[in-house]
Chain A
Amino acid sequence: MSTSDAAASKPNAPGPHWPAGLSVAVLGPVIALVLACAFFATQSDHFLSGANFSLILQQVAVVGVIAIGQTLVILTGGIDLSCGMLMALGGIVMTRFATVNGMPPVLAVLCGVGVTTLFGLVNGLLVTRIRLPSFIVTLGTMNIAFAATQLYSGAQTVTDLPPMMTALGDTFGIGSTQFAWGTMVMLALYAIAWFMLRETAAGRHVYAVGNNPEATRLVGIATQRVLLIVYVVAGALYGVASLLSVARTGVGDPNAGQTDNLDAITAVVLGGTSLFGGRGVVIGSLVGALVVGVFRNGLTLMGVSSIYQVLVTGVLVILAVTADQLSRRGAR
């Protein structure tokens, strides 16, 4: 995970120039992922198969999509603790609207995404207008969303969903391997986010705000507007994650997402995005989520308690932030 000064500081620089391909920041987690896969391939005959990899992708899809929103927020130097609870709330809203209120599934899903987007807007307004720290704002909205989920659902799981709602959990075959549509949605969202952050002015502004908000404001970029949009987009992404979660489990679960905020932050940090903002590659967050998923899967295949996955995750997080800190110091 060592990085040379020049390579590490380049994605730092605001502006349209950025090294082609995956940057050094994402190389560390990729190496960790490859090593983990190689290790588990020697430990279990069942690990190296298309079906198993497809499965791991399905298992990380919800946290993976949440991690896109989280990456955006962290790139601006913020943090979002509310993401997992917003995901749960969105899921309960869309499933109850579709079943209890008999709303057409598409409309119900839009309402669910609307609610999480609205919460994102509230997060963004509090951060930009009242200038509250994102940590505190999202700590508040996290609790509000959790309570709203429990009260609105009566702590009851919502079942008997219309098939259209769980369609993203269905699979299709490429060769002999079955892929879930939800996985494709996640991959597509990563591709879009990657392109937007890398190739568009709006995307570069996100980096700039995280890097040096004052300088960014002085060159005439509306930093507060960029921040607000980031929180709103993140909220919408959590709504998409709601749908993926509902499709995967086939129910609206009021207890979903309770650890997803930290899981998503873990994925982002493992993926090499700096918690100080301004640097990182969104694809890295997918790699980070996959590292966690691969350990969980591989250890189960080995018959080892999954508590070791938690242990390994902790060690890798420390390694990742250390690498970031050292390269940052070197860049100075």
Chain B
Amino acid sequence: MLKLASSLLAATVLATASPFAMSADQPVIGLITKTDTNPFFVKMKEGASQMAKERGARLVTAAGKQDGDNAAQVTAIENMMTAGAKTILITANDSKAIVPAIQKARAKGVMVIALDSPTDPQDATDALFATDNYKAGILIGEYAKAALGGKPAKIVTLDLFPGHPVGAQRHNGFMKGFGLAAPDAKVNELGKSAEIVCSADSYGDQAKAQTAMENCLQKNPDVNLVYTINEPAAAGAYTALKRAGKDKGVTIVSVDGGCAGIRNVKAGVISATSQQYPLKMAALGVAAGVDYANKGSKVSGYTDTGVTLIADKAMPGVESKDSKVGEQLCWGK
């Protein structure tokens, strides 16, 4: 126990005190992710450390303890500034609550780049490198429209949770792509429509999505299209449909592009998913940080890191790549 405590202490000191191991001209770049465990962020870290190695930067990383943990991210910003970071890349757990800490860092000359999800307001950071989630929604909406082939749609949406911009952007983008009247990309509320017969919050969690889908099926047994916020939610929806003997006639679409999700595209569980690229977000962020350290030039504005529709059954008029392409660029195992 004592040994554990002292090694923990040593680790804390190493992480917070001045980095004696670095050479003077090696730029320090901080990466703060939502959590340590989500494969999406593991991939992000991989992209950052590859680029840091390539460009001769030193990468320090930290993460929240769980989704929504703002305090740990604030602490991480402070610690990284102490460690001499001149660029901090962050995927904020709380898009609003993190802003004061970011402002303090920027006031001291640190360049802050948001990865994956914007802060609120978006210009609280110097730049944003992220997926266009509205576009990700549009792609699967268009695909779903083609896949249904003119049949009247009965749609279930398994959303994230109330008030999250990414959840709203994907949901509303999906509606737009499907040809329904939808709120635009800036609106933070979920669009409604007669075709959407049931909407439920899944929290992006497989078990919760399964429960939500089961309850929706009680209400509307003749559902033929399911939009899901991410691939675990899609897997939960599929389990519910399969148990109810309805897995054949229902199209499931999703967003993410993790390896488990791509495998489910291959297996026919998910018809189409919009794949995003965390590795690229982080790699671009590190490169920008090195440029800032060497040349003093900051990046600004929004950079779309791209999204690709992955589907094994291509639909006429909808551009997509198959699961083999998706597998090469996916994250996780």
Report A's interface with B, CB cutoff 8 A: 44, 46-47, 49, 51-52, 55, 58-59, 62, 150, 154-157, 159, 169, 171, 245, 248-251, 253-256, 258, 296-297, 300-301, 303, 305-307
Looking at the complex, which of B15-23, B95-103, B200-208, B312-320 is the stretch in contact with chain A?
B200-208
Contacts of A253 in B (CB 8 A): 206-207, 232
Report B's interface with A, CB cutoff 8 A: 36-39, 42, 66, 162, 198-201, 205-207, 210-212, 214-216, 218-219, 232, 235-236, 239, 243, 260, 263, 332-333
- Is A159 touching B260 in the complex (CB atoms < 8 A)? yes
CA distance A250 to B198 in the complex (A): 24
- Is B214 touching A157 in the complex (CB atoms < 8 A)? no
Contacts of B216 in A (CB 8 A): 300
- Is A154 touching B333 in the complex (CB atoms < 8 A)? yes
CB-CB nearest 5 A-B residue pairs: A300-B215, A155-B37, A150-B37, A301-B219, A46-B218
Q: Which residue of B lies closest to A44 (CB)?
A: B219
- One of B39, B201, B205, B210 near A155 (C-beta < 8 A): B39
- Is B235 touching A251 in the complex (CB atoms < 8 A)? yes
CA distance A83 to B185 in the complex (A): 41
Contacts of B37 in A (CB 8 A): 150, 155, 254
- Is B236 touching A51 in the complex (CB atoms < 8 A)? no
CA distance A46 to B217 in the complex (A): 10
Residue among A44, A169, A297 with the highest chain B CB neighbour number at 10 A:
A297
Q: Which residue of A lies closest to B41 (CB)?
A: A155
- Is B205 touching A249 in the complex (CB atoms < 8 A)? no
Question: Would you give the shortest CB distance from A94 to chain B, in whole angstroms?
Answer: 16
Please name 22 pairs of A and B residues whose Cβ atoms are closer than 8 Å in the assembled complex, sorted by A.
A46-B218, A46-B219, A49-B218, A51-B218, A59-B214, A62-B207, A154-B333, A155-B39, A157-B235, A171-B243, A248-B207, A253-B206, A253-B232, A255-B205, A255-B232, A296-B211, A300-B198, A300-B212, A300-B216, A303-B199, A305-B162, A307-B162
- Is A249 touching B198 in the complex (CB atoms < 8 A)? no
Q: Which residue of A lies closest to B238 (CB)?
A: A250
Q: Which residue of B lies closest to A302 (CB)?
A: B219
Given contacts A51-B218, A59-B214, A307-B162, contact A256 B39 (CB under 8 A): no
- Is A305 touching B39 in the complex (CB atoms < 8 A)? no
Q: Which residue of B lies closest to A58 (CB)?
A: B214
Question: Would you give the shortest CB distance from A30 to chain B, in whole angstroms?
Answer: 23
Residue among B38, B215, B235 with the highest chain A CB neighbour number at 10 A:
B215
Given contacts A154-B333, A155-B42, A251-B235, contact A300 B206 (CB under 8 A): no
Q: Which residue of B lies closest to A293 (CB)?
A: B211
Contacts of B200 in A (CB 8 A): 300, 306
Q: Which residue of B lies closest to A52 (CB)?
A: B218
